[in-house]
């Protein structure tokens, strides 16, 4: 594994424990002559502050101190070569599975090269309007088309690899990765998929036709979602964080991303431990 010379810290600033842990990590790294850089949005002192795009380019390791949403905000910008160590400062997360008490020992393990990675499949999405590409996006969890400000169903058609699948009348549709199967897709009735599996999930949201069920596709599938021309109130949302308004006739194309996201695996718990904890399985 490559030597770690620069560590980027992405910190949820409204969590005092995250701020304290960030300062502790900066001191620990400085004593070992490892450069630390901070996400400028954290508003912290003690290390150079960079925007997320530059931090993702310069870091050899990214440490996230916050929750799953904080991790998603940097994961979309990070290439496969950069491992991400997620430390959850609240309840145990699906993505930030290392807890606070394990953070410093885990950082030491990663810097020493004694760690394992999960390579998580990503999504690449494009938005076309009038035959012209007007947006491109990367997602770790999901790409979602939904109704907009009004609580009403929208109509859209879906094709897979250029072959018609069906026309939906629904609140929307989710294209999710296995990692995203425990996010929005789960609440919409989608299956839980082991996160290192390779597949795409297609999950309608509150479809008007009850036989419209979630579909699991091969990882190389190309999904095209075309908004009906009479629709004027629809939204595209990426990982629950980036949003664009959609117009009638817009086409959203989703396929496997070119590079995965590399997450540091906790040696102290399995994915199934996390499932039991988050979903309350086995309790009485």
Mean pLDDT value across residues 99-120: 95
Mean pLDDT value across residues 78-98: 88
Is 284 inside a domain boundary?
A: no
Task: Please tell me which residue in 39, 53, 60, 68 is annotated as part of the active site.
Answer: 68
pLDDT digits (tens, 9 = 90+) for 113-151: 999 999 999 999 999 999 999 999 999 999 999 998 788
Asked if 142 is an active-site residue, the reply is: no
Please determine, for residue 1, whether its predicted confidence score (pLDDT) is greater than 80: no
pLDDT band at 283 (very low <50, low <70, confident <90, very high): low
CATH number at residue 46: 3.40.50.10330
Is 184 inside a domain boundary?
A: yes
106 and 130, same structural domain? no
pLDDT of residue 279: 87
pLDDT digits (tens, 9 = 90+) for 55-67: 999 999 999 999 9
pLDDT digits (tens, 9 = 90+) for 253-274: 999 999 999 999 988 888 998 8
Q: What percentage of the chain reaches a pLDDT higher than 90?
A: 83
Is 216 inside a domain boundary?
A: yes
CATH number at residue 170: 2.60.200.30
pTM for the model stands at 0.94
Cα distance between residue 26 and residue 33, in whole Å = 10
Please determine, for residue 78, whether its predicted confidence score (pLDDT) is greater than 80: yes
Distances in Å between the Cα of 16 and the Cα atoms of 9, 23, 96, 136, 139 are: 15, 11, 17, 35, 28
Cα distance between residue 243 and residue 246, in whole Å = 10
Cα distance between residue 206 and residue 170, in whole Å = 6
Mean pLDDT value across residues 197-203: 97
Cα distance between residue 20 and residue 92, in whole Å = 19
The total number of structural domains in the chain stands at 2
144 and 249, same structural domain? yes
Is 67 inside a domain boundary?
A: yes
67 and 13, same structural domain? yes
Mean pLDDT value across residues 27-56: 95
pLDDT of residue 147: 93
Is 223 inside a domain boundary?
A: yes
Please determine, for residue 173, whether its predicted confidence score (pLDDT) is greater than 80: yes
Q: Report residue 70: phi and psi, to 5°.
A: -65, -40
Structural domain including 239 reads 123-256
């Amino acid at each position: 594994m490559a030597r770690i010379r620069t560590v980027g810290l992405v910190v949820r600033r409204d969590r005092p424990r995250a701020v304290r842990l960030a300062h502790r990590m900066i001191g620990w790294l400085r004593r070992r002559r490892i450069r630390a850089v901070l996400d400028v949005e954290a508003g912290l002192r003690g290390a150079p502050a960079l925007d997320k795009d530059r931090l993702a380019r310069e870091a050899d390791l990214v440490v996230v101190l916050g929750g799953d949403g904080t991790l998603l905000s940097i994961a979309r910008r990070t290439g496969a070569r950069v491992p991400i160590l997620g430390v959850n400062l609240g309840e145990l997360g699906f993505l930030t599975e290392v807890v606070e008490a394990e953070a410093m020992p885990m950082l030491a393990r990663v810097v020493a090269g004694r760690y394992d990675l999960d390579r998580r499949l990503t999504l690449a999405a494009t938005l076309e309007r009038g035959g012209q590409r007007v947006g491109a996006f990367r997602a770790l969890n999901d790409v979602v088309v939904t109704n907009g400000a009004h609580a009403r169903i929208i109509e859209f058609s879906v094709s897979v690899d250029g072959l018609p699948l069906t026309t939906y009348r629904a609140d929307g549709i989710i294209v999710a990765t296995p990692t995203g199967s425990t996010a929005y897709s789960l609440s919409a009735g989608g299956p839980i998929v082991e996160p290192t599996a390779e597949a795409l999930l297609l999950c309608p949201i509150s479809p008007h036709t009850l036989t419209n069920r979630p579909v699991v596709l091969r990882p190389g599938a190309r999904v095209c979602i075309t908004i009906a021309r009479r629709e004027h109130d629809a939204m595209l949302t990426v990982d629950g964080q980036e949003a664009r308004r959609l117009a009638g006739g817009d086409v959203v194309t989703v396929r496997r991303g070119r590079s995965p996201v590399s997450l540091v695996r906790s040696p102290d718990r399995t994915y199934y431990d996390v499932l039991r904890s988050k979903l309350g399985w086995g309790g009485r």
